[in-house]
Amino acid sequence: MPALTAGPTPLGEFVLSDVEVKAEEMWRGIGAPAFTGYSAVDPLHEIPVVEPVESVLGINMTLTPAGMETVPVKQA
């Protein structure tokens, strides 16, 4: 991810990790990023798309680190 202003890159590396993905439905294809809240204070919407990549959309999707159990959370 490029820096929005002069200075160091805010996200310089990605960490590879294994996750288990569960979802009711999933679709994949080329992503089309869009932002609904344009702001001069937070100009994230001005970052150019350099190369489109494959994206995934899931309904009720959860990601769990490989080898870990999910724990149910009780709603108050």
SS (H, E, C) the chain: CCCCCCCCCCCCCCCCCCEEEECCEEEEEECCCCCCCCCCCCHHHHCCCCCCCEEEEEECCEEEECCCCCCCCCCC
Whose CA is closest to 45, among 30, 34, 53?
34
- Closest C-alpha among 55, 61, 62, 54 to residue 25: 61
In this prediction the pTM is 0.43
Print pLDDT tens along the chain (76 aa): 566 667 666 665 566 778 888 899 999 998 877 777 777 787 777 778 788 888 888 999 888 888 777 777 887 7
For residue 29, the model assigns a pLDDT of 92
